Structure formats: structure tokens, C-alpha cells
């Protein structure tokens, strides 16, 4: 019932796959320094690759160069996904810090989530100890929405992740199992961009109809064509 953001080194299909994985870099005027179509990158501050971890198998490994500027991982922006039913859940992930860099991660890590131009703000993540072992982090979705700006029903960038400003030089970490978890009771996870999925707590019964079945309740979040006289299309 989770919504995968990044796992086994790959961006979840619901967010469009690996074409929506990139990095921003202050030494590149904070622009995307990746060519997703060609599978190449030219970031002056950071490199990344999928590696094999003895415990996890495939994971994403991120390496900041010794003269790295401010840079970070970006999933998205992609077609919007409705995560309203995760409002009481968490953005969870596993991380292994292999080298805490020249600044010893003095400012820690930050996360940002976006819904178009509406954002969560850049929020500090507590609890990452950088022990060289895998750590599991649960960041409350309520912290992402605390400012009142983020629209959970229209998430376009589910994770922007970076060390504090100008503290990344020499940092190396692996990240895996990034997901939104803790869905509301009775709800179903979204299966695609803005496909409903959320808010599906209505009671219904399935009735036999020919060789199949139909619901006895209309889903108001389903698709309706403008030229079919108002018929609801599932």
C-alpha cells in the first residue's frame, strides 16, 4: 500500500521512471545537469550510479566531489500524483552514509517536496547518524504540509534531497526504499498520475452483470467524457 519513489536504484513507475531522476548543482547555476534521454550527466559537484550492496542488492550511490558546491537529488517534476491519503503517514527511506565528507555532515540533510509551484519548504531531517550502516528514516508527511503550501493531491516532485548548503564536499551515501507509507484506513493507493486512487473510502457493492460485475455506486473521481451524454467511464 506504499507509493514507491525510488527503489533498487530506479524511480517508481508512477513518477515516470528514471527519466525523472536528476540532480541540481549550484556550480551549474542550479540547473539540471543531466541528459536523461542520453543517459549522461555533466554535474561538476556530484556523480551517481547504481551499485550492488551486500545487504540490499541494487541501490543508488551518490558521490560528492572534493570541491562540490550545493547540489542534490531530484525526483521529478513529473505528472502530478494524488497523495492525499498519506497525510498522516511518512516519507520513508533507508540510507547508508559511507563518508560524511569534509564537513562531517555538520548541517545534516534536507528534504523538499513540490506540488507544482507550491512547496513544502526545505526541511531538516533529524535522526541520520551517519554510522556507515543502513538507517531507516521516517519523515512525517505532516511536517511537509505544516506550512500550508504543499498540495498533497497534486505532488509533482516527491523528493528533493540534499546536504546543508556547502557541506557536501566528499560526501558519499547510498539510498534505497524511498516511499510514501501509512495510507489512511480503507483507502487505496494511486496507480497513476492523478488517477483517483485517493479518497476511495466510499462503501460499494459489486453486482453480477453479464460475464462480469458492476458497482452499485458511482465514483465521482473517475473519468467522464464530455461527449458521451454524461456517462461515467471506468
SS3 label, residue 84:
helix
Predicted TM-score (pTM) of the model is 0.80
> Phi and psi for 221 in degrees, rounded to 5?
-95, 0
Domains within the chain, CATH numbers bracketed: 3-181 (2.60.120.430)
What average pLDDT score do residues 66-80 get? 95
pLDDT of amino acid 71: 95
Residue 204 has pLDDT above 70, yes or no: no
Residue with cell 527511506: 93
And the C-alpha cell for 29?
Answer: 547555476
pLDDT of amino acid 31: 80
Task: Average the pLDDT over each of 46-55, 75-84, 115-124, 198-207 and give the range with the smallest value.
Answer: 198-207
Amino acid at each position: 500500500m506504499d507509493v514507491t519513489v525510488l527503489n533498487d536504484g530506479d524511480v517508481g513507475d508512477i513518477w515516470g521512471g528514471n527519466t525523472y531522476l536528476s540532480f541540481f548543482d549550484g556550480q551549474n547555476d542550479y540547473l539540471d545537469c543531466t541528459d536523461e534521454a542520453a543517459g549522461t550527466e555533466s554535474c561538476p559537484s556530484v556523480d551517481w550510479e547504481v551499485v550492488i550492496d551486500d545487504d540490499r542488492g541494487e541501490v543508488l550511490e551518490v558521490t560528492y566531489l572534493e570541491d562540490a558546491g550545493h547540489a542534490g537529488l531530484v525526483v521529478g517534476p513529473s505528472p502530478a500524483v494524488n497523495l492525499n491519503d498519506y497525510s498522516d503517514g511518512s516519507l520513508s527511506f533507508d540510507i547508508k552514509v559511507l563518508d560524511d565528507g569534509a564537513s562531517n555532515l555538520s548541517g545534516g540533510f534536507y528534504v523538499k517536496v513540490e506540488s507544482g509551484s507550491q512547496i513544502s519548504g526545505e526541511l531538516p531531517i533529524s535522526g541520520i547518524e551517519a554510522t556507515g550502516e543502513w538507517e531507516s528514516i521516517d519523515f512525517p508527511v505532516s511536517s511537509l504540509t505544516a506550512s500550508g503550501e504543499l498540495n498533497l493531491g497534486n505532488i509533482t516532485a516527491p523528493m528533493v534531497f540534499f546536504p546543508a548548503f556547502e557541506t557536501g564536499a566528499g560526501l558519499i551515501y547510498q539510498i534505497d526504499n524511498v516511499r510514501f507509507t501509512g495510507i489512511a484506513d480503507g483507502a487505496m493507493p494511486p496507480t497513476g498520475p492523478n488517477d483517483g486512487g485517493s479518497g476511495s473510502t466510499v462503501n460499494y457493492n459489486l453486482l453480477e452483470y453479464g460475464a462480469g460485475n458492476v458497482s452499485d455506486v458511482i465514483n465521482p473521481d473517475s473519468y467522464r467524457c464530455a461527449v458521451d451524454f454524461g456517462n461515467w467511464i471506468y
